[in-house]
Amino acid sequence: MRGGGHDSRAQQHPRRGGDGLLFGTGVFRWPPSDDSGRRHEVRRQVFIRENDAVRLEGHWVDHPKYGRQFEAEFMGHDLEMDPDGLANFLANHPDVKGIGPVKARQIADEFGRGFDVAIRTRPEAVAAAAKVPVETALELQRIWIANSDFNTAMAYLSAFGLTHHQVTTLVGKFGSQVVPILDSDPYVLMGEISGFGFKRVDKIARKMGTPKDLPSRIRAGLHYSVLAALDDGDCWVEFEDLLDRANTLLVMDTLNSREVIEGHLEALIAEGRLVSQPFERLVVADPEIHRMETELAEVLQTASQRSPHAVAEVDQLLNAEGGELNREQRDAVRNALNFSISLMTGGAGSGKTYAVSTIASIAERLELKVVLAAPTGKAAKRLEEVVGHEASTIHRLLVFNGHTYSRDALNPIEADILVVDEVSMVDIALAWRLFQAVDRARTAVVLVGDHNQLPPVGRVTSCATWCGRWRSRPPSSPGSSVRLAR
């Protein structure tokens, strides 16, 4: 046993942990010194599978009950080098200077799986093979050793055509365990690392020879198909349509593939990983989107509640500030001032912006704080120029830093009246975020838009879909929706 280390192979399957990643407590057969055939247990959890080659470092101990055991201080996989991956790694690593694709291939062809030993013990031989100065090889040696925990895994991953950023992201997240994780179930990456969606992970998995009928692949494909439907503006996808989408995506090459996929879909629904509802036909949705949609619908159902700043003398104010408003515009302004949520719709040239300007003017006269927002920078700039009042994007209003939103129920938007223009471009996820940050006890919300215009920015059914249903209620229904005519 060199330096307290030993190479062996795992003799027990790992088990699935609470975080969904494969790991196990390794039980290893060591060459027994007493011919007893005793098993010695290494009490350390790591991602391993049966017959994985592993490297252990630690020391032997005498346990009072279980006898002689090996206590591991380090456990890692003994990964083999792939020449193609090595060439890709050397040619593309940003820290490796002076070695391009041609020289990287020369090194890989010359040393292959023996590169690690060569660069550590004979850097001059590496320099000679690549026809580079010895100083270049010594610098490569320094970089290689400094990254010794990750080098083999990175070289292995590079063989699958990943970019250096993608490789370093994976290795930075999982360390030397990334390869056995990918070998066991590459689809766990979808829930662990941003940017690794189904198609990217599936491409890696197919190059690794992952079976097409792997259960986790089928389930990941089903969930991806649900999310893909969102790009078409659908929060829900019909059950049968979802099966067809997934079957086309997965290309399982078996006659009963649709039946197999259906079994996994039913299991996902039973487990709550997808949700279904029996509307005219059975439909399926992502649970998170379903939750947002339900909560947003509940908020919009309160639209007929009085505004926290309801104005009794609204007609006098309209006469003073909005003398040129037509009847529909006056109704829209009146709703904005009297209801907790109001909707103003109309096509181009129908006078929506002029009505918004009047709302802002009356609010300022009443010393109410008005905040204007729109889904895009272009829309916000136009709103600001026409109304003459500062406007921002919704993301900026919610103080989005690219990862999280600072505005929420505990830190709501500071406004008495919030006007959101171009609401047809706001998807349900963003609308949900927006209303989460609205203090309903203080802030009245005015939604402005034209559902015949552009679709949402991003995925998920637009807020205008809900607004369209809201606007289509019978005339006798109480509410705060006005459609402006040209």
pLDDT per residue as tens digits for the range 325-350: 888 888 989 999 999 999 988 887 77
Strand 391-393 relative to strand 370-374: parallel, antiparallel, unpaired? parallel
Residue 290 is assigned to a structural domain of this protein = no
Q: Is the pLDDT of residue 52 over 70?
A: no
The pair of three-digit structure tokens given for residue 471, joined into one six-digit string? 């606007």
Residue 344 is part of which domain span?
298-483
Residue 101 CA to residue 84 CA, distance in Å, equals 11
Both 465 and 316 in one domain: the answer is yes
Please write the tens of the pLDDT for every residue from 378-390.
Answer: 999 999 998 999 9
Decide if 223 is inside a domain: yes
| Average pLDDT value for residue range 313-321 | 81
Q: Assign 322 a pLDDT band (cuts: 50, 70, 90).
A: low
Nearest one of 306, 232, 231, 233 to 464, comparing CA atoms: 233
pLDDT at 123 over 90: yes
Distance separating alpha carbons of residues 211 and 254, to the nearest angstrom: 12
Q: What CATH number is given to the structural domain containing 390?
A: 3.40.50.300
CA of 295: how far to CAs of 300, 337, 343, in Å?
9, 24, 18
Asked whether the predicted pLDDT for residue 185 surpasses 80, the reply is: yes
The rounded distance, in Å, linking the Cα atoms of 429 and 447 is: 16
Structure tokens at 138: 């010594």
What's the pLDDT score for residue 441?
Answer: 93
As given in the structure block, the two tokens for residue 295 are: 């909560």
Q: Any idea what DSSP says for residue 462?
A: B
CB 485 within 8 A of CB 256: no
Q: Are residues 47 and 87 in the same domain?
A: no
- CB 374 within 8 Å of CB 422: yes
Say how many CA atoms lie within 13 Å of 196 toward its Cβ.
22
- In this structure, are 14 and 137 located in the same domain? no
Phi, psi dihedral angles at 162 (to 5 degrees): -75, 150
Has residue 270 been placed in a domain?
Answer: yes
């209303």: which residue's tokens? Answer: 435
Same domain, 342 and 305: yes
Look at residue 43 in the predicted model and tell me its pLDDT.
Answer: 39
Average pLDDT, the chain: 80
Do residue 145 and residue 230 come from a single domain?
no
pLDDT at 444 over 90: yes
* Same-domain check for residues 156 and 276: no
What pLDDT sits at residue 66? 80
CA 42 to chain centre: 36
Which comes out higher in pLDDT, residue 321 or 266?
Answer: 266
Residues 165 and 244 in one domain: no
Beta strands in 140-286 (DSSP E): 237-238, 275-278, 282-285
Number of domains in the chain: 4
First to last CA, the chain: 87
What is residue 28's DSSP assignment? E
Report the CATH number at residue 272. 1.10.10
Q: Is residue 293 part of a domain?
A: no
Residue 167 covered by a domain: yes
Asked whether residue 87 falls in the same domain as residue 73, the answer is no
Cα 380–Cα 472–Cα 330 angle in degrees, nearest 5 = 55
Q: Say if 35 falls within a structural domain.
A: yes
The CATH code of the domain that includes 11 is 2.40.50.140
* Domain stop point among 77, 96, 122: 77
Asked if the structure places residue 291 within a domain, the reply is: no
Question: What pLDDT band is residue 234 in, cutting at 50, 70 and 90?
Answer: confident
Assess if residue 450 is contained within a domain.
Answer: yes
| Confidence (pLDDT) at 235 | 86
Task: Kindly state whether residues 41 and 27 are assigned to the same domain.
Answer: yes
Give the domain-ending residue among 262, 285, 308: 285
Which of 225, 259, 285 corresponds to the end of one domain?
Answer: 285
Mean pLDDT, to the nearest integer, of 160-179? 77
- More reliable by pLDDT, 15 or 467: 467
Q: Are residues 104 and 66 in the same domain?
A: no
Q: Kindly list the distances between the CA atom of residue 215 and the CA atoms of 212, 218, 239, 285, 287, in Å, as whole numbers in the listed order.
A: 9, 5, 19, 20, 20
Q: Poorest-confidence range of 78-82, 146-150, 299-303, 394-398? A: 78-82
Identify the weakest region by mean pLDDT among 14-23, 161-170, 205-214, 289-298. 14-23
Distance between CA atoms of residues 34 and 152, nearest Å = 36
Report the DSSP beta bridge partners of residue 74.
57
Considering 20-29, 190-199, 220-229, the range whose residues carry the highest mean pLDDT is 220-229
Q: Which two tokens stand for residue 414?
A: 């500071």
Residues 274 and 255 reside in one and the same domain:
yes
Question: Quick one: 256 and 368 in the same domain?
Answer: no
Length of the chain: 486
